[in-house]
Amino acid sequence: MPNNQASKPRLASRSGIVSVVLVYAVFAGLWILLSDQLMQIIVTDPEQLVWISMFKGWLFVCITSMLLYGTMLRWVDSGAETLDVPKASHWFRLPFLSLVIIICLFTATSIINTREHQKQTEIAKLQAIADLKATEVIDWLKERQRNVDFVQTSRLFAEQFQRWQETGDEQSGQQLQARLEQFATTYGFAAVSLLDGQGNRLWGTSKAPQVLSPNVLPAVAKALVGGNTQRMGPTRDAAGQVWLDFIVPLTVLPGPAPIIVLHADLTDWLLPKLHAWPLPSASGEMLLLRRDGDQVLYLNDLRYPQASTANLTLPIATDKLLAAQALRGDALTNGAIEGVDYRGIASIGVARPIEGTDWLLLAKFDQADLYRAVAGDTAWISFAGLVTLFVSIAGFYLLRQGQQLAVVNAVRQVQEERLDALNLLSSIADSSDDAIFAKDLAGRYTLFNSAASRFVGKSVETVLGQDDRAIFPPEQAEKLMAIGRQIIANKEIFYQEEALDTTNGTRTFLATKGPLRDKQGQVIGIFGISRDITVLKQVEQSLREGEERLRLAQSSAHIGIWDWDLITGTVTWTAELEAIYGYPKGSFPGTYSAFSDRVYPNDLADVERLRDEAVNAHQAFDFDFRVQLPSDITRWVSCKGGAIYDDTGKAIRVFGVNIDITKAKIAEQSLRQQSEEITQRNEELERFNRAMVGRELEMIELKKRVNKLSGQLGHAPPYPLDFIDAPLVQQKTDGSQ
């Protein structure tokens, strides 16, 4: 009988081990099969798929950890004899409530810290965007100033003006006007005005104002007196056009200097550049401001007020206004400003001065965006808090069971059950591809499964009884042991990514660690489960780098991508293509007419013909055409693309890329014009040479006749013409001597 009774618990333990392993295997198989299929149905974006896969791994580790713990506990309970024991005391309720409060406080603190961290991250992004945009504006102004300096020091412009005004040479005046128009077109100025030495308007291009703005006249007078270039603006004229005027006196000639006014249309580049936000944001916005007396003057169009450029002003004394704080120099220690924007919406901003001007660039976004950004992190922290509460409840439940088992005087049976539990845990751990381990309070390994052994390249027997210093490099070992001490001290579940040296090099693991308790609830060590997520991290990094390279390439090369669904008629454009066709970001309606309305009228028929011929012939197309913007600006676009066909050979989608080649076309036209001028001058020189050679031959013939008459009269020939009859070689020799 004793032998039979002793054998029953061992038989029960073997069947329990098999059942737990089967439960774990079935759960893991169903999880991998069903969760992957569900993700493929719900998520299509590769980057989101990587993130959700990582979160799925975390969740799997948490659930399997609880499953292992629960099944082990249930198996131990099922192997014990049913005894009539007294109910456990309720002394643990106060510590349990205290732990719940601590977990709630820790979760709340983590949420607050996460929000603060996200806030600092967003402020850092805002600072980077402000620096980028400020640099672009400064570079644009410096480029315009270099153009202005070239005009001021150009002797050609000054001499043509002098010939035109002092001698009345109309051709010089026409050449000067043509060169000024070409200069403005080449270097991005929308218009040019020409004033005499008294500031009177002599001429201007078609877009130049007929009467200079009263705001510009003082700058003209200052340029006439000091002889220095002046910049005026931005200003809005009566027609609503936004100008930045450069007043350039031609000081290379003595006397009163004529004035060339270069008018830059800020809607051509500067204002759209400020409007473009480099990162996805619902409220991100760039504000260009300057101080106008006791007012804040907004110099660019804002997202919500219409026609706000150089038109909207707000009192600089407004306490919480972001723009007013920036101009007053108010800022937090991290360089950010908190307050309200021009709409009265709570916002965060970063200001940067524009070198060489009294302008200030303010990058801002709504604080509501910050709270939306941390909503996901808040949910995960809350989930982690709930998991920790669940584990704590399980721990206290185990403590209660330990109290009940403590009154049972069956030391041998308890010892056997513990041994069976360890065997069960070892079997489950060795069947997993994740590294599963346990340590005692001194940090020595008491459990080390086969997967962990393969990772470190050491046998289980070698590792058991040793700490991390016998397995990992000193720096990694100290870090892991410090985390173990922290878990024991805080008695909480710990999640983190760890980079560890393995037999396959440095690998990244997603680790879940927590306190290991005995039946009385006392912490006797820590347990851990680590999953190798190196491949997921590499895929995530590759996707991020690929998307960044694609975005930078499109932005720097001014390449826009389009896709036309011939079944639904829907047209999809990228943001860069909207900029090429003059649409504000996100305003393209997605129709074919929105594209055709912007094509130059004379080019539309050729565009449609060339595209349709290539699509019908199942060939790629490649052609150039012009785009007419609402502001009368004409751009050249290179279009390359092809089509996708169904099984019957019918085109169902047409796609392609558009590249802004306006500068190349302008340079090509300029070179063609210069080539034509050189050809014309060469023809004139040839005609001149032919005329001069004919005239010289006639003079030689006349000299021959005079010499002949002189000989008939008995006189010596007055003209020496011996060189005519001399041999060619002799003439060359004489010429060289």
Q: Which amino acid is located at 155 in the chain?
A: R
| Local structure of 595: helix, strand or coil | helix
Give the bridge partners for 302, in sequence order.
none
Q: Which amino acid is located at 380 in the chain?
A: W
Which of the pair, 636 or 302, is modelled with greater confidence?
A: 636
126 and 363 Cβ atoms separated by less than 8 Å? yes
How far, in Å, CA of 682 to CA of 555, rounded?
A: 44
Res. 422: pLDDT tops 60:
yes
Question: H-helix or E-strand containing 324?
Answer: helix 322-328
172 and 194 Cβ atoms separated by less than 8 Å? no
User: What integer is the mean pLDDT of 14-25?
Assistant: 62
User: DSSP assignment, residue 82?
Assistant: P
Which of the pair, 438 or 42, is modelled with greater confidence?
A: 438
Pick the range with the lowest mean pLDDT from 2-11, 51-60, 540-549: 2-11
pLDDT at site 617: 93
Q: Could you report the per-residue pLDDT of 23-80, keeping only the tens digit for each?
A: 666 766 666 666 666 665 555 544 455 456 656 665 666 666 666 666 655 555 554 4
pLDDT at site 691: 67
Residue 285 phi/psi, 5-degree rounding, is -155, 145
| Local structure of 623: helix, strand or coil | strand
C-alpha 708: how far from chain center: 92
Q: Could you report the per-residue pLDDT of 473-510, keeping only the tens digit for each?
A: 989 889 889 998 888 888 888 888 888 888 888 888 88
498 and 530 Cβ atoms separated by less than 8 Å? yes
Rg from Cα positions in the chain:
42
| Local structure of 265: helix, strand or coil | strand
User: DSSP assignment, residue 433?
Assistant: S
Across the chain, what does the average pLDDT equal? 78
Nearest partner of 425 among 82, 76, 77, 80, judged by Cα: 76
pLDDT at site 409: 55
Question: H-helix or E-strand containing 299?
Answer: none
C-alpha angle 95/97/101, rounded to 5°?
115
List the strands of the sheet with 259-265, edge to edge. 201-204, 191-195, 259-265, 242-249, 230-236
Q: What percent of the chain has pLDDT over 90?
A: 9
pLDDT at site 652: 92
| pLDDT confidence tier of residue 642, bands split at 50, 70 and 90 | very high
C-alpha angle 527/528/531, rounded to 5°?
165
**Is the torsion defined by CA of 359, 360, 363, 367 positive or negative?**
negative
Nearest partner of 434 among 179, 130, 63, 178, judged by Cα: 63
How far, in Å, CA of 222 to CA of 570, rounded?
A: 56
Q: Which amino acid is located at 645 in the chain?
A: Y
pLDDT at site 313: 81
Nearest partner of 291 among 322, 315, 263, judged by Cα: 315
| pLDDT confidence tier of residue 640, bands split at 50, 70 and 90 | very high
* pTM summary value: 0.43
**Is the torsion defined by CA of 232, 236, 241, 242 positive or negative?**
positive
pLDDT at site 274: 80
641 and 658 Cβ atoms separated by less than 8 Å? no
Residue 528 phi/psi, 5-degree rounding, is -155, 150
99: number of Cβ within 10 Å: 19
Res. 653: pLDDT tops 90:
yes
Res. 402: pLDDT tops 70:
no
Nearest partner of 526 among 510, 539, 515, judged by Cα: 515
User: What integer is the mean pLDDT of 152-173?
Assistant: 84
Nearest partner of 272 among 557, 560, 584, 574, judged by Cα: 584
282 and 586 Cβ atoms separated by less than 8 Å? no
Which tokens hold the place of 674? 């210069």
- CA-based diameter of the chain, in Å? 171
pLDDT at site 45: 47
Cis peptide before 209 (omega within 30 of 0): no
Give the bridge partners for 195, in sequence order.
201, 259
How far, in Å, CA of 225 to CA of 219, rounded?
A: 10
206 and 214 Cβ atoms separated by less than 8 Å? no
DSSP sequence for 363-395:
EEEEHHHHHHHTHHHHHHHHHHHHHHHHHHHHH
Which tokens hold the place of 431? 């069947």
Counting Cβ atoms within 10 Å, is residue 163 exposed (0-12), middle (13-18) or buried (19+)?
middle
User: What integer is the mean pLDDT of 543-570?
Assistant: 75
Res. 198: pLDDT tops 70:
yes
Give the bridge partners for 389, in sequence order.
none
How far, in Å, CA of 459 to CA of 449, rounded?
A: 10
How do the residues of the chain divide into helix, strand and coil, expressed in percent and rounded to 5? 55, 20, 25
Q: Could you report the per-residue pLDDT of 261-285, keeping only the tens digit for each?
A: 888 888 888 878 888 888 887 788 8
111 and 375 Cβ atoms separated by less than 8 Å? no
pLDDT at site 328: 85
| pLDDT confidence tier of residue 606, bands split at 50, 70 and 90 | very high
Q: Could you report the per-residue pLDDT of 89-139, keeping only the tens digit for each?
A: 555 567 767 777 887 777 778 777 877 787 788 888 888 888 888 898 999
Res. 735: pLDDT tops 60:
no
How far, in Å, CA of 288 to CA of 271, rounded?
A: 9
Res. 232: pLDDT tops 60:
yes
How far, in Å, CA of 420 to CA of 516, rounded?
A: 17
How far, in Å, CA of 244 to CA of 230, rounded?
A: 11
Residue 636 phi/psi, 5-degree rounding, is -95, 135
How far, in Å, CA of 694 to CA of 704, rounded?
A: 16
Q: Which amino acid is located at 397 in the chain?
A: Y
Pick the range with the lowest mean pLDDT from 220-229, 502-511, 595-604, 677-686: 677-686
| pLDDT confidence tier of residue 637, bands split at 50, 70 and 90 | very high
User: DSSP assignment, residue 320?
Assistant: S
